[in-house]
Amino acid sequence: MILLFLLSFSILPIILTFLEILFVKKNLKYKNIKYIRLLKIFELITPFIALIVSQGPRQVIGMTFLVFFFLSLTYFGILLYDVFKGKIDGNEFTINFVFYLVDIVLMFLSTLINVKIIFLF
């Protein structure tokens, strides 16, 4: 059951990752995607960290939200730090912040879909 959760939790974000990066490269003419890649790495390691930290199969789902919340706060902190240090400008910050918000919503929805799939079996 936990393996099914990890598998389903990892496949949907990987597909969304490729679509988002393709969208950014083609439509926005945005060359610096290192922050989006960092967010995607955080998104992909979330279920594995939640599995390590949790005590049981039901607790993995709750820990997933908590782990992703802390990793996304870390990402946002890195983004703000780079804005204040002058490494990125306001336009890059806006693009990265929009993708940050979109990823939070997509991660929440994909987790709910995975929970529904797992508990139907």
Distance CA 87, CA 60 (A): 37
The tokens of 96 are what?
A: 């990265």
Residue 50 has pLDDT above 60, yes or no: yes
Q: Which residue has the tokens 């939070």?
A: 104
pLDDT digits (tens, 9 = 90+) for 55-80: 766 676 677 777 878 888 888 899 89
Structural domain containing residue 105? 2-120
**Structure confidence by residue, pLDDT tens digits, 34-44:** 877 787 777 77
User: Is 9:47 a contact under the CB 8 Å cutoff?
Assistant: yes
Per the structure, the count of domains in the chain is: 1
